Homo-oligomer: A and B are copies of this chain.
Amino acid sequence: MDGHTDTRMTESAGAGRDAESVSKFVESFAAQLVEAGMQRMAARVFAALLASDKGVLTSAELSEQLQISPAAVSGAVRYLAQTHMVSREREPGSRRERYRVHGDQWYEALTNREAVLKRWEAALRDGVNSLGPDTPAGRRLAETLAFFEFVEVEVASMMERWRVHRERTFGQG
């Protein structure tokens, strides 16, 4: 109950860190992400990377730590890479791939929601046109569209402010 006990232990996954604490965090944070709509394996992989010592793990390490097949790791990582939540690296001169989160990850991910927004906006624009901009429904769609456009711009500048704030607070990590 008092946070940060020191049951450090049984090496296993990392450099002798408390495997149980790590696992507890991974599972509970992943559960929250799942509840918000992320696929389970992707959420677990992401959480495991967040909680890892260097922010980097190999496929084999993930597979062992989370008790899932290499295939599952592969699928999860594909999803995470597509959505820019992790990046994949290849240790030169090895066929081992390493997956990494960096501090900037959420920044990246949010920035990429832009693509989704754009598609929504396109659908809305079509709607405004085909229903007519001067019908009640058309006006409603137009207002929705305006909201998204507003958000898009605002999020961009918000992210800029985060970059500044972050550098001040954490150095460039």
Chain A residues near B (Cβ < 8 Å) = 3-5, 17-18, 21-22, 24-25, 28-29, 32-33, 35-37, 50-55, 101, 103, 106-107, 116, 119-120, 123-124, 126-127, 129-133, 135-137, 140-141, 143-144, 146-148, 150-151, 154-155, 158, 161-162, 165-166, 169-170, 173
Contacts and interface: CB of A to CB of B under 8 A. Distances in A.
Give the copy number.
2
Contacts of A33: 120
Given A106-B144, A130-B21, A151-B158, A137 B51 contact: yes
Secondary structure class of chain A's binding surface, majority of residues: helix
12 contacts: A3-B130, A28-B123, A29-B120, A32-B123, A50-B137, A51-B127, A51-B137, A52-B137, A55-B137, A106-B147, A147-B162, A154-B161
Contacts of A146: 166, 169-170
Given A50-B141, A146-B169, A154-B162, 14 more contacts: A4-B131, A4-B132, A17-B131, A25-B126, A29-B123, A29-B124, A32-B116, A54-B136, A103-B144, A107-B147, A143-B173, A146-B170, A150-B162, A150-B165
